[in-house]
Amino acid sequence: MVDDGSGSQVTSPGCPFCQIAAARVPDARVVYEDQHTIAFFPDRPATRGHTLVVPKRHAPSVWDLTPEEGGQLARTVLLVADAVREAVHPDGMNIVQSNGAVATQTVEHVHVHVVPRTRRDRVTLRWPRRAAESGVALDETRRAVAARVGLQSGSAAPQTHSRGPDTISPEDRRQHLEFIQSTITRMSTASANVKTWLLPIVTAAYGYAAIQRSWGVAALGAAAVMIFAVLDANYLKQEQAFRRLYDCVAAGDPIPQFAMNPTLAAPTGARRDYWPGWDQFRSWSIALVHGPMLSIGLALVVWGLVTSSR
């Protein structure tokens, strides 16, 4: 181990990158070197032109770098990336820096991969399709990270477009609640209209089916009940979602200013689509209204089939 006199570890005897930085690997394929950094090809490059950029001082992770060293490393990465692009002419490029075994770091010395990419190469770097967080959880994480950035930089946390409730005036909050309440009222009115429209349709269909003993017309009436029940349950789901949003805004929970997306107030992991669930279908406003009408329709279908076969 070598020390620079200030207690900082300059090289580590077991580190292969320190050996290259100290010019102890004669066959290392170095492409650039200055006082602070060195860039070289790995033994097993992922693509043509794949280059590693490392600081000469031994630092196991990015958190062990000083701000000056971070700036020096970044400057060399930009220089090498530009040179590799001009020399190899790739279709794209990945700049990858990993810390810790779980993040695929295999050598405990800070290094940045400059990886030229072509459309048919064998490199696979894929992000998950589903977000790790959404809604309220994402806002909480943003505030936590922004607060730490502010503490470490010695300044206030940076402002973002997604402002929390602490930046919303009482008048803004009142207007926000009014907008949400108007949406809840529209959903409730739409649900009532569905029941109003369904009643004459069902009355006509079931009446005709009973008089003519037509199971087909009864089946059409029952199908109409199911279709209208889905619409009604969807309106109920939206109403419930906006009621949750209303409660969150009223309680001062972290909802972006004037956000009208009800999924922001949904529990983490909740479904984000607009298809109603069994909770809506089992509610009294759906089950006790559409359930009996559907039962009557199915009974008329069975009665019509039985009488027509005699």
Please work out, in degrees rounded to the nearest 5, the angle formed at the alpha carbon of residue 243 by the alpha carbons of 194 and 161.
120
Task: Check 50, 58, 109, 111 and give the catalytic one.
Answer: 111
Q: How many CB atoms lie within 10 A of CB 149?
A: 13
Amino acid, res. 158: P
SS3 (DSSP) at 176: helix
Residues 168, 72: Cα–Cα separation, whole Å: 41
Give me the sign of the Cα torsion angle 103, 109, 112, 116: negative
And the tokens for 308?
Answer: 């027509």
Residues 142/159, Cβ–Cβ less than 8 Å:
no
Closest CA to 69 of 105, 112, 36: 36
Name the region of 214 (left: φ>0; alpha: ψ -120 to 50; beta: rest).
Answer: beta
**Is 111 an active-site residue?**
yes
Q: What is the dihedral of CA 98, 71, 82, 31, to 10 degrees?
A: -80
Residues 233, 274: Cα–Cα separation, whole Å: 10
**Helical H runs in the chain?**
16-21, 67-88, 136-153, 170-212, 215-251, 278-281, 284-308
Please measure the distance between the N-terminal and C-terminal CA atoms of the chain and give it in whole angstroms.
100
Active site residues: 111
